[in-house]
Chain A
Amino acid sequence: MFEFKLPSLGADMDEGKLLQWLVKPGDRVHKGQVLAIVDTAKAAVDVEIWQAGVVRELLVAPETTIPVGTVLATLDELGETAAAVPSVGAMPPAGRLRISPAARRRAEALGIDPATVPGSGEGGAITLADVERAAGRPQSVTPPPAPVPRPPVAASPDRNAEMRRAIAAAMSRSKREIPHYYLFETIPLARAQAWLTAANAGRPISERLLLAALQLKAVALALAKYPELNGFFVDGRYQPSTAVHLGVAISLRQGGLIAPALRDADSKPLAQLMRELADLVGRARAGSLRSSELNEATVTVTNLGEQGVEAVAGVIYPPQVALVGFGAVAERPWVEDGTLGVAPTVVASLAADHRVSDGHRGALFLAELRARLQHPDEL
């Protein structure tokens, strides 16, 4: 027998409310399967299990708030009760409604029974838009020319206050415990932009790349050479990570931010990275993330350039040891080969943990990042 515990959901979330079980006793589950949905200040989190087994007993009832580490269920290892339990493999449990957490929450708020809503998502899943449609216009399924005004998703004052408290706790801890140092480097982007324009010219709009994808890939590749910037500082000791899982800081429309992980960003082709980034941003904004995405990021990247700021001196998200920031892409005077000209540039920054690395290595990392962005075709 083994236990299924509520995993860490990142430094700024220490508890959650169990919303729903997706399995019942007797169900066979596979590694990586989502067993439960837990609501937190930032998102409804799909909680995955990391060992295959057969559910023996569910120990926590829906609507209960529990701290991280709580045993949610007990399971038998495969083979322990194999004779008694019919195998259902990777099939979702019978009777499970396929609905996104954001859609479920919205349906609840509107007093709609989700079971009555026709789903248009993957595999007939009910999406937020389906719920809105069901709420506003009972029978119609055509694209909405006259939208129903609606309040922002999950923007209750309580939730915002809770998220503020969660962010405050993690960032206070960071500023208390981590001796930050900061470095800045201006990076010319003429080559990256020209490459991007040419690459996008041949792509349909849904497959176009954003500069953000190039920046993320360049960071991931540069980090591979500087393991002292990629890992966790836990119990007074640094544990470098061989994998590069980039936490991508995403601002939420109702306020606050979340930085879920883009896994193995150093080894994925740009097109795939872009697709996964779009998916991650969409799910973060809709309030639906997986538990692994909230606790696996080995470093964080923030891009505040969209708001027009020149540069960012970031706050490290513990237990990580570095944060890479990008400011706005702007045309600036630029000297190349002794000639003054005008070039698109971006200021990249590094905030890093002095317990683990020194400014010299940090500077080499930024130089590597700059070099990587001069060869976009190799990203």
Chain B
Amino acid sequence: MPRDPGELRAIVVATLQTIAPEIDAGALRADRPLRQQVDLDSMDWLNFLIGLSRTLGVAIPETDYRRLVSIDELVRYLREKTG
């Protein structure tokens, strides 16, 4: 059964906060590119995806990275993957 989008969103934000504890989650725009809003280098981004992959038990191939730009897109992608 696919995960609830609200729950997935919370997991995305919680995982992001383990990488970038200083962010104000309330100020994030879910429809805008995440890396334009949060200072994440390629190591941070990789660790963020590793965190999501572990928490949700999904594989995230590198070829899918280009789909993962905004929080909305991440949630949509993870919903497909956990479905």
The interface of chain A, by Cβ under 8 A from chain B, is 129, 143-147, 149-153, 155, 197, 200-201, 204-206, 208, 210-212, 251, 253-254, 277-278, 281-282, 306
- Give, as a whole number of angstroms, the nearest-CB distance from A180 to chain B: 26
Main secondary structure of the interface of B (DSSP, over half): helix
Q: Is the CB of A253 within 8 A of B62?
A: no
| Contact A152–B21 (Cβ < 8 Å) | yes
A143 touches B59 (CB 8 A): no
Chain A residue at minimal CB-CB distance from B42: A210
Listed residue (A144, A201, A210, A278) with the most chain B CB atoms within 10 angstroms of its CB: A144
Determine the distance from Cα of A282 to Cα of B34 in the docked complex, in whole angstroms. Answer: 21
Task: Give bound CA distance, A253 to B62, whole Å.
Answer: 26
A278 vs B41: C-alpha distance in the bound complex, in angstroms?
Answer: 12
B22 to chain A minimum Cβ distance, whole angstroms, is 4
By beta carbon, the residue of chain B nearest A251 is B41
- Contact across chains for B11 and A205 when beta carbons are under 8 A apart: no
B interface, CB within 8 angstroms of A: 7, 10-11, 13-14, 17-18, 20-22, 25, 39, 41-43, 46-47, 49-50, 53-55, 59-63
B46 and A143 contact, CB distance less than 8 A: no
Of the residues B43, B54, B55, B60, contact of A281 by C-beta under 8 Å: B43
Task: Give 23 A-B contacts (CB < 8 Å), ordered by A residue.
Answer: A143-B11, A143-B14, A145-B10, A145-B14, A146-B10, A147-B10, A147-B17, A149-B25, A151-B21, A152-B22, A153-B21, A155-B22, A201-B61, A201-B62, A205-B49, A205-B60, A206-B53, A206-B54, A210-B42, A210-B43, A212-B43, A278-B47, A306-B41
Give which listed residue, B14, B25, B42, B59, contacts A306 with CB less than 8 A: B42
Q: Which of A147, A155, A253 has the most CB of B within 10 A?
A: A147
B55 to chain A: which residues have CB within 8 Å? 143
B40 to chain A, nearest CB (A): 9
Name B9's closest neighbour in chain A (CB-CB): A145
**Also in contact, A205 and B13, with CB within 8 A (given A145-B7, A149-B25, A253-B20):** no
Q: Check B50 against A206 for contact (C-beta < 8 Å).
A: yes
How long is the Cα–Cα vector from A145 to B15 in the complex, in angstroms? 9
Interfacial chain B residues near A282, Cβ < 8 Å: 47
Chain B residues with CB under 8 Å of A251's CB are 41
Known: A147-B17, A197-B62, A211-B42. A205 touches B53 (CB 8 A): yes
Rounded to whole angstroms, the CA-CA distance of A278 and B62 in the bound complex is 18
Task: Return the chain B residue nearest A200 by Cβ.
Answer: B62
In contact, A208 and B21 (Cβ under 8 angstroms): no
Q: Which 5 A-B pairs have the closest CB atoms?
A: A152-B22, A306-B41, A145-B10, A147-B14, A200-B62
